[in-house]
Structure 1
C-alpha cells in the first residue's frame, strides 16, 4: 500500500521530471489493476475519479458529471478499498466534488487524507458546464468559486492540489487559490466505443490550451501545466501538445484505462473464440 506523500514531496518529484525534460504522466485509475499497472509503467501520479468507476463498468465518462451516485463517496471508497492498496510508491490524488453543499468541506478533506490520498483535484466540476445552467448554478451559490475555495482549504492543510479548468477566468481563480497544477481540459476524450464524436480538432485544442496557460502564467509563472481530454487521446497527440504549448505532461483517463482496454479485450476474446475444437 502506497504511503501518503506530502505536498513538498510530490512537487519535488514533478519538478525533477520537468528539469530532466521528462513528460509528466498522471493516470486516472478506476480500479486497483489500472493503478498497479500505471505505477509499474512509470506514471508520476494516480488519480481516483467517480467517473473511473463508471468508465470501468462500461459507461461513458460523462456519467461522472451526472447526478448518479455520490461522487465524493465513490471516490473515497474506490481509493481506500481498491486503488491505494494496489500501489506501492506513487502519490494517489482524489477527485473531490467541491460544490457538494451537503458536506463540510474541511471534514471531507480530512477524510480524503485519512484514507491515504495525497492530494485533490476538482472533479466533478461545474467548470464543465456552460450556458444558462451554469449561470443558474453560480447564482445559487453552487459555482466554480466553491471549487476554488476547496483548493484554498486544501492548501491551508498543506495538501497537494490540481485543478481542471475550461476558461481563463476559472484558471486565474484557481491559481490565486494556490493550486499547484493546472490541467487544461479540452472536453470528453475522443476514441473507442463511447468516446466523444464532437471533439474539437487538435490544433483548436492547442489554441484553447494556450489561452488557458497564458492566464495561468500571468497569475503565477511557476505553475505546472498539463493537458487533458478532447482530441488528445494518444501519446502522439499529447506530445504534439507538449511541443506546441507550455504543457509539461498529460492527464490520461479514458486514453489509458478505457480505449486500450476495449481494444485489447476484444482482440483477446476474438482470438479465444477462433480456437478450434477436436472433432
Structure 2
C-alpha cells in the first residue's frame, strides 16, 4: 500500500527496510537493530511478495551485514534474481552505540563489511545508497565508489514524540552540510540524500535543507520540476518525472535504476521507505 502511494505521490525510488515493517506492525525503528528476526529473510519475505509487485519504481533492498554466516556474494545474486534495483546498508552499525559497534567492528562485522556489500553490489550492476552519519563514513563510502549517500541522523523517532530538543535545526543543518561537503570533495557527482532521526515532518526536512550552507547540496535538494517546495510521503522532497522501469526481470529493473540515478545527479531526489 505504501509503495503504491509513494509512486502516485511522485517518489523516485522505494526502500524496503525492516524498520518500516516493524513500525507497520506497531513496533518502533530501534527494533531493526535487535535480534528479533533474521533481517534479510524478513525483508525478502515482504519485499518480494508485497513491494516489488506493487510498484514500477526501483526498489532498494535493505541488507544487514551483522550476520557472520551471511554469504554476501550469494545474497546479492539472490537480490538480483528477485528483481530489486538496488541495495542499501540497513540496518547499519551507525545506528548502534559505540560499545556494541566496536565489538562488531572487531569481529569483522562493522562498517567495513557494509562497504564491501555495496562495492560488490555495484560491481554486479546494482545501484547503491550508502547510509552514513559522520564525515569519515561518508569519505570511506564515496572513496569505495558509492554513487549516493543517505546522511542519516539516527533511527526515526515517533512523529507524536516530536523533534529532539537537544539538537537544534542549525546544528542538524551544519552536520548535514559538513558531511555533504566531504562526500562531494571526493566525488562532486555524489548524490546526497537526507533523513532519519528527529526529522519526522516535511517542514522539518525543508527547514534543514534551507539552513544548509553547502550550495551544491542545496541544489541537489531543490533544483528540478518540484523546486517550489512540494513534498511527498514521509516529508522527503522529490521529483515526479521518473521513467517506467521494466518488469521482466532483475537485470532490466537494475539497469533502469542505474540510468535513473545517473540522470538525476543535479536534481531533487525523492525516496520513500515502503512498508506494506
User: Higher Cα Rg: structure 1 or 2?
Assistant: 1
Instruction: Give distance in 1, aligned partners of 2:18 and 2:162.
Output: 17
Report how far residue 249 of structure 1 moved: 4.2
Q: 2:5 — aligned with what?
A: 37
Asked if 2 retains the 8 angstrom alpha-carbon contact of 1:164 and 1:183, the reply is yes
Q: 1:123 — aligned with what?
A: 90
Report how far residue 234 of structure 1 moved: 1.8
Asked if 2 retains the 8 angstrom alpha-carbon contact of 1:199 and 1:230, the reply is no
Of 108, 111, 117, which residue of structure 2 is paired with 1:144?
A: 111
Instruction: Give distance in 1, aligned partners of 2:92 and 2:169.
Output: 23
Q: Does 1:100 align with 2:67?
A: yes
Report how far residue 199 of structure 1 moved: 6.3
2:21 aligned counterpart, secondary structure? helix
Instruction: Give distance in 2, aligned partners of 1:199 and 1:106.
Output: 41
Structure with the greater relative contact order (CA < 8 A, sep ≥ 6): 1 or 2?
A: 2
Report how far residue 203 of structure 1 moved: 1.8
Q: How many residues align?
A: 224
Q: Deviations over 1:169-228 (max 9, x none)?
A: 111111112112111111233443467756622222111112211221121111000110
Matches within 5 A, 1:22-101: 33-87=1-55, 89-101=56-68
1:233 aligned counterpart, secondary structure? coil
Q: Deviations over 1:101-151 (max 9, x none)?
A: 211101111111111110011101012224222222211211100000001
Tell which deviates more after alignment, 158-167 or 235-244: 235-244
Of 102, 119, 127, which residue of structure 2 is paired with 1:160?
A: 127
1:164 aligned counterpart, secondary structure? strand
Q: Deviations over 1:58-109 (max 9, x none)?
A: 111110111110111111111101111111x211111011332211101111
| TM-score (ref. length: structure 1) | 0.74
Instruction: Give distance in 2, aligned partners of 1:235 and 1:254.
Output: 7
Asked if 2 retains the 8 angstrom alpha-carbon contact of 1:234 and 1:255, the reply is yes
Asked if 1 retains the 8 angstrom alpha-carbon contact of 2:133 and 2:152, the reply is yes
Report how far residue 167 of structure 1 moved: 1.2
Of 183, 188, 195, which residue of structure 2 is paired with 1:216?
A: 183
2:31 aligned counterpart, secondary structure? helix
Instruction: Give distance in 1, aligned partners of 2:161 and 2:50.
Output: 24
Instruction: Give distance in 2, aligned partners of 1:140 and 1:195.
Output: 36
Change (3 A) 1:161 1:199: farther
Q: Does 1:180 align with 2:180?
A: no
Instruction: Give distance in 1, aligned partners of 2:201 and 2:174.
Output: 18
Asked if 1 retains the 8 angstrom alpha-carbon contact of 2:139 and 2:186, the reply is yes
Asked if 2 retains the 8 angstrom alpha-carbon contact of 1:60 and 1:194, the reply is no
1:227 aligned counterpart, secondary structure? strand
Q: 1:268 — aligned with what?
A: none
| TM-score (ref. length: structure 2) | 0.75
